[in-house]
Amino acid sequence: MTHTEISTPLPGIEDAAGHSRIFDHGAHVAAWQPEGSAHPVLWLSSTSEYTAGKAIRGGIPICFPWFGPGLTGDKRPAHGFVRATAWRRSEVTEHGHTLRVVYTIDPDITGSQPEFSDDYRAQLTAEFTPTHLTVRLWVSNTGDEPFTIEEALHTYLAVSDVREVTVEGLDGASYLDKNLPDPAFDQVQEGALRLTGPTDRVHVHGGPVTVVDPGFGRRIRLSTEGSADVVVWNPWEEAAAGMADMGPGEWTGMVCVEAANVFADAVTLRPGEHWTMSQRIEVLPLEG
């Protein structure tokens, strides 16, 4: 898979066809479209901001070392600081039809972080192929004290209409609905999930899930390793209208389905320990 370095709208790596793209900023996978597919798999807002210190709306932002406001509920910025920081590009290789890009980040790159002063090293590996995309986040404790992290691969999937798709594979999974007045893991999914309004759920589920999209005539299958949770999110019309980095009506064309370790499934690493979480995305026919 032939690749080239890009500088617009941000520095990064792109394949020759423009179907696979990753930015140094946030080690952010911004595009992937499998061979023969008429539609991209990752959604990207037309009004995303491509500036230092700003998270990109769409693609696969990395939530780390906390999720949302963190376990204490007061962490800033939301979802951590690494998604709005340029990572160090350490490897770009081609093997046949596979393009592999590796990024690293640590306190030497991010500088002092008062909300997370621990010594760590993280690595993001993206492998683009004509049939699947694999994104892997590896975190190591390089210090002398244990620390606890939350993490998520905040994947924005492109769909024909979020009101018409279903998410399969979560049947029987307990979940927290963040849109309820007193959210707790006291809900249980029954059957396939169909989004009918603002959705912000954390499902306790470590297995694969499949987004069934009749409008695009495809299924998007997400398989994970090292994750205990699946987050499903769409802001819906009213909240989306208040987002400066989401174009008018664009909320209908996306749904976030993300591998995660959050809340009670946060990961504690002792000195010298490391943890890997990965997500593989592939497109399948609607039937079969």
Structure tokens at 86: 């340029």
From CA 55, how far away is CA 57, in angstroms rounded?
6
Q: What is the pLDDT of residue 31?
A: 98
Q: Please give the model's pTM, rounded to 2 decimal places.
A: 0.97
Cis status, amide bond into 208, omega within 30 of 0: no
Q: What is the pLDDT of residue 17?
A: 85
Q: What is the pLDDT of residue 237?
A: 97
From CA 257, how far away is CA 16, in angstroms rounded?
28
- Residue 109 CA, distance from chain mean position: 21
CB contact set of 50 (below 8 Å; sequence gap of 6+): 9, 10, 25, 56
What are the structural domains, with CATH classification, of the chain?
3-285 (2.70.98.10)
Query: Cβ distance 218 to 270 under 8 Å?
Result: no
69 Rama sector, left if φ>0, alpha if ψ -120 to 50, beta otherwise: alpha
Residuewise pLDDT in 10s, the chain (288 residues): 789 999 999 999 999 888 999 999 999 999 999 988 999 999 999 999 899 899 999 999 999 999 999 999 999 999 999 999 999 999 999 998 999 999 999 999 999 999 999 999 999 999 999 999 999 999 999 999 999 999 999 999 999 999 999 999 999 999 999 999 988 999 999 999 999 999 999 999 998 999 999 999 999 999 999 999 999 999 999 999 999 999 999 999 999 999 999 999 999 999 999 999 999 999 999 986
Query: Cβ distance 51 to 41 under 8 Å?
Result: no
Alpha helix positions (H), 7-156: 107-110
Cis status, amide bond into 65, omega within 30 of 0: yes
Q: What is the pLDDT of residue 288?
A: 63
Buried b (16+ CB within 10 A) or exposed e, 151-180: bbbbbbbbbbebeebebbbbeebebbeeee
The DSSP string of 169-234 is S-TT-EEEETTSSS--S-EE--SSEE--S-EEEEEE--S-EEEEETTTTEEEEEEEES--EEEEEE
